[in-house]
A and B are shown apart, each in its own frame.
Chain A
Amino acid sequence: GNSVTQMEGPVTLSEEAFLTINCTYTATGYPSLFWYVQYPGEGLQLLLKATKADDKGSNKGFEATYRKETTSFHLEKGSVQVSDSAVYFCALADNYGQNFVFGPGTRLSVLP
């Protein structure tokens, strides 16, 4: 079946550091890929998405590129802020928006 693997962290960075959270997936067909973010005490919010190979999703300074050849969707940000401290989930879904599969989440802590 489909699966998502991501670095579990926790990841601790200083403010303005470069962030990379690795995500790889296993899926049949051509899934859509997502990064969701969860702030303390909240549900998940969509951060960015990509629906086909070589697409780049971006939002709030975060970027991720759908790499079919390496089955990866790594999340990057050039300069993190304290407010980016949260748990980040990589996920995939089939093209009908069904069968969402989430990675285990990566906790990010950004220190001032």
Chain B
Amino acid sequence: KAGVTQTPRYLIKTRGQQVTLSCSPISGHRSVSWYQQTPGQGLQFLFEYFSETQRNKGNFPGRFSGRQFSNSRSEMNVSTLELGDSALYLCASTLGGTTEAFFGQGTRLTVV
């Protein structure tokens, strides 16, 4: 079966702009989580959605937001981009009730 798909793979944005990243989970998976990965901070949890509801949230400013659609696809949005937002953004999906997370290849965001 198809894995977790993240689009786009690469993005270059200018400081102050906004960006939307997309994640399509494995078919049947209802939980989608987002992570930010940077060399300095490692892998940091952003938020998790389950059945269109945000279930958990990490310690990020309100510029970072997300949503989940009825087909479980999820988007995350970052507004007013800062240079420090440059990172690899990873999405993971789980079936819900199981204990394994499947990751996409990530979206590499560069803010210039």
A→B interface (CB under 8 Å)? 32, 34, 36, 41-46, 49, 51, 89, 93, 95-105
A46 to B100 alpha-carbon distance, docked (Å): 8
- Contact of A93 (CB < 8 Å), options: B43, B99, B102: B99
Binds A, one of B12-20, B63-71, B90-98: B90-98
Q: Flag if B48 contacts A104 (CB, 8 Å).
A: no
From B55, B99, B103, give the contact of A32 (CB < 8 A).
B99
A45 contacts B103, C-beta separation under 8 Å: yes
Complex: A99 Cα to B6 Cα, angstroms: 21
Q: Is B22 an interface residue (CB 8 A)?
A: no
Contact between chains at A97 and B98 (CB < 8 Å)? yes
Count of A-B contacts judged by CB separation below 8 Å:
60
> Binding site of A, secondary structure by majority: helix, strand, loop or mixed?
loop
Main secondary structure on B side of the interface with A: strand
- State in angstroms the CA–CA spacing of A51 and B45 once bound together: 21
- The residue that B100 contacts in the complex, of A97, A98, A99, A101, with Cβ under 8 A, is A97
Given A97-B31, A97-B99, A99-B56, also A44-B90 (CB < 8 A): yes
Shortest distance in angstroms between A32's beta carbon and chain B's nearest beta carbon? 4
Docked complex Cα distance between A49 and B100 (Å) = 8
In the complex, are the beta carbons of A97 and B94 less than 8 A apart? yes
Contact across chains for A105 and B42 when beta carbons are under 8 A apart: yes
Indicate which residue in A96, A97, A103, A105 contacts B101 across the interface (CB closer than 8 Å).
A97
Q: Does B33 contact A (CB under 8 A)?
A: yes
Decide yes or no: A97 and B92 within 8 Å by CB, A43-B104, A43-B106, A105-B42 being known contacts.
no
Interface residues of B in 15-54 (CB under 8 A from A): 31, 33, 35, 42-43, 45, 48
In the docked arrangement, what's the CA distance between A45 and B106, Å? 12
List 18 A-B residue pairs with CB atoms under 8 Å apart, sorted by A's residue number: A42-B106, A43-B90, A43-B106, A46-B100, A46-B102, A95-B99, A97-B31, A97-B94, A97-B95, A97-B97, A97-B98, A97-B99, A97-B100, A98-B31, A98-B48, A100-B45, A100-B101, A102-B45
